[in-house]
A and B are shown apart, each in its own frame.
Chain A
Amino acid sequence: MSAARRTRHPAGFTLLEVLIALSILLIGLVGILILIPQALDTGMRAQSQAASAVLLTNVDASLSLGFSRSDPAASPRRVRFFVEDALDAITLPDSGERKFPRDDDDADDADEWVPSARAGTDVYPARIAASAGVSEASDASGLLSFDLAVSPLTAPERGLPADADGRPRAYVAKVRIYRAFQQGRANEPIATGEFLYEYPR
């Protein structure tokens, strides 16, 4: 028995031993390789989140400015706002919810969020990225975009009645910031904000 072992051991490793060793090595290497891009993505996400806080503040300030400058007698009511140099407007609904940017395909679906900056082709992400100082323009993963949903706040139980003419007095704007990806990846929401505004009277 011991003589047989002595003869066998010097002959080297068996194929099975080599395969098992290679498998373990492979699993370890693949594990490391998977972790590295994840770690980098986590870092990029942290960077985007820091920048999204700036962007969220800018959207809020822009909406505050837009609401303060709105025409009380206008019908329908519109609020102009901008991010960077892109000036735009949203029509305020008397009921329900209005979204920006508006997706014509989902025009009848008032409950669904409209993802902005589809596949990175929209002009907004690049401008927003510049405004938020996120990253170089070529770095698609650093781009931010946002969408906005505005709805009236007239709930009597919350002490917020409508104006004398029946139109809402206050509005809630929900803002979502996304990391805008290219190459068909879905945009990833990274920050949200909810702001309250009063329409001028």
Chain B
Amino acid sequence: MNTRDRTAFTIIEMLTATAIAVLVIGAAALLLSHTVRGTRAIEESLDLVVRGRAAMDWIARDLATARAGLLVLDEPAGPSSQSLRWAGLRTNAGTIAAAEISYAYVPGSPSRLVRTVDGGAEEEILSNVRRFRVEDFEAGTGRFREIHAQTIWTEPPSAVRITLTIADVLGRRERTVRRVVFLGKRRNP
């Protein structure tokens, strides 16, 4: 009996040990929570940048085929959103053919950026788009200028700058990706 009493912890020892354990576990949990939140924020942000970049690749690839008649059709949700249509090229089963390509900002919930070839089915390029805007390069001033609805180019400008602002699914985080697309003839020595 005596031996058993001496091997046991006292209530003070138990309380002290418990308090220390709670402190250590609490600090670790807090740290873990911060880390998880930070990691999630980075992942979401990275996802937005990657999605924006992928959409930009689509647009840039299509714009590279643009010929005369690049047209800003509409601004369905004000000047921050635009829809474009131009005469370009499409590839289909290894063949290249002339096609009318359009990128349209579709307002709504969620707002979307859709691509259409020759008036066919809409292909969603991006969702939760907050801003889709195109500027053209003005040779006279050597700068990009904002363009507005019903702008018609008789021939494509030498470069355009596209701005896409994308939000995450919950609309808490936004990222803007801006891409310059050179449309002139690239010289390859």
Contact = CB atoms under 8 A, between A and B. Distances in A.
A47 B46 contact: yes
Contacts of A6: 3
A11 to B, nearest CB: 8
Range class of the B interface residue count:
35 or more
B49 A153 contact: no
A84 B176 CA distance: 12
A49 to B, nearest CB: 9
A85 B145 CA distance: 11
Contacts of A192: none
Interface in B170-189: 175-182, 184-189
B77 interface: no
Nearest to B143: A87
Interface stretch (B37-45, B91-99, B117-125): B37-45
Contacts of A87: 142-143
A181 interface: no
A50 interface: yes
Given A40-B39, A64-B186, A54 B3 contact: no
A47 B158 contact: no
B154 interface: no
A168 B118 CA distance: 45
Nearest to A172: B189
Given A10-B7, A62-B180, A68-B185, A47 B31 contact: no
Interface residues of A, number: 46
A33 B24 CA distance: 13
A171 B46 CA distance: 34
A18 B166 CA distance: 55
A188 to B, nearest CB: 16
A43 B187 contact: no
B187 A197 contact: yes
B39 A43 contact: yes
Contacts of B43: 43
Contacts of B7: 9-10
A195 B43 CA distance: 31
A39 B180 contact: no
Interface string A49-91: 0110110011011101101110000000000101011010000
B45 A65 contact: no
A93 B28 CA distance: 58
22 contacts: A6-B3, A10-B3, A39-B35, A47-B45, A50-B46, A50-B50, A53-B53, A54-B178, A58-B178, A61-B159, A62-B180, A62-B182, A64-B186, A68-B185, A69-B158, A87-B142, A133-B49, A134-B49, A135-B45, A153-B189, A169-B189, A197-B189
Interface of A: 6, 9-11, 32-33, 36, 39-40, 43-44, 46-47, 50-51, 53-54, 57-58, 60-62, 64-65, 67-69, 80, 82, 84-85, 87, 130-135, 153, 160, 169-170, 196-198, 200
Interface of B: 3, 6-7, 28, 31, 35, 38-39, 42-43, 45-46, 48-50, 52-53, 56, 137, 139, 142-143, 158-159, 175-182, 184-189
